[in-house]
Structure 1
Amino acid sequence: MNAPARPLRADAARNRRRVLDAARDAFLRSGVTASLDDIARAAGVGPGTLYRHFPTRDQLVLAVIEDGLRDSAALGAELLQRADPVGALQQWLIDYISQAGVFDGLARSLVALPDGDSAGKDACNAAKGAGAALVQKAVEAGELRADVDINDVLDLAAAIAWVGEQPDRDDGQQSRLVRILLDGLRRTPARGEPATEIT
């Protein structure tokens, strides 16, 4: 049985945070092939410090994914307090999909993280749970169909994220597709009942 990981010292935790932030910015600009030395310089640390925290590029990439998913989970918990459940879900989905804009291929990674990446799986489950809670609130409010499943919603979100990775994409297309997705999930109004629209 492995001993639990020791918590990072405060300075080491700060360095790790700086590397993650710098990596996210670099991946957004240049994709996952961005220079690790440039990332270290942008973070204000030496290459050795970067490699101590993230021995391989893949580990750094997965850590950026995990970080974004945990942010999505936190946003979901915050949006759950909003009075408009479908608007809250729309905002959460746009944020979740924007995680795929960090670098090419993240849309696929959001759906299937490596089996050995337990921390990434935990973060993915946390984000998924936040989305499921938002869906459930919208269903209970009578805004969405009762058969809406978070797995289906996230698969469709991954498809929308994939659209954003295409070189000839329309900048407004992802937002339109999110609105179309949510319109399709709405409960069909009873006869004589006014239909509502997502803004």
Structure 2
Amino acid sequence: MPTSMPAERSSDSGDSATLDENAGECSSHSGHAAAFNENAGECSSHSGHAAAFNENAGECSSHSSHAAAFNGDARECSSNSSHAAAFYGDARERSPHSDAGHAAAFNGDAGECSSNSSHSATFYGDAHERSSNAGNAAALYDDAHERSSNAGNAAALYDDAHERSSNAGNAAALYDDARDR
């Protein structure tokens, strides 16, 4: 992956990432791809090993296997796929409802967050450090100073950052609001 990305980049091939910053919609339909939509209303991904991200949006849903549906600062976030995690940012409670191995449900300043799948994602909101070493995981840090991801098929998302780099297999790393990675 390159160390910097243009405002918009799309790819329909495997091991690729579709990035759309500050856009209304961003979707990815390819394998091992990640669809990112920051400050947008909707973001959906329907591909395997894909992640759909929607920050500061109303809804974000993912229906693919090994996928994660994220909604930071939003009211609803649902995931209906296996190996998926649904996360809420900016609420009052954090509760893990994980019934599968290697799964974590994180809610940084959120009202509810539940994960019922294995190989799911670990999220920290407003944290200083975080590392993810799990397979098929997505690591998300909002307003954090450092982050590292060593997991395969992972997507690393950083809000407002000065650098962007990805060293994980089949991963897309996006930095917003961060200083280093």
- Does the pair score TM above 0.5? no
Going by fraction, where is helix more abundant, 1 or 2?
1
Higher relative contact order (CA 8 A, sep 6+): 1
Going by fraction, where is strand more abundant, 1 or 2?
2
Which TM-score band applies after superposition, normalised by the shorter structure?
A: under 0.3
TM-score normalised by L of structure 2: 0.25
Task: Flag the structure with larger Rg.
Answer: 1
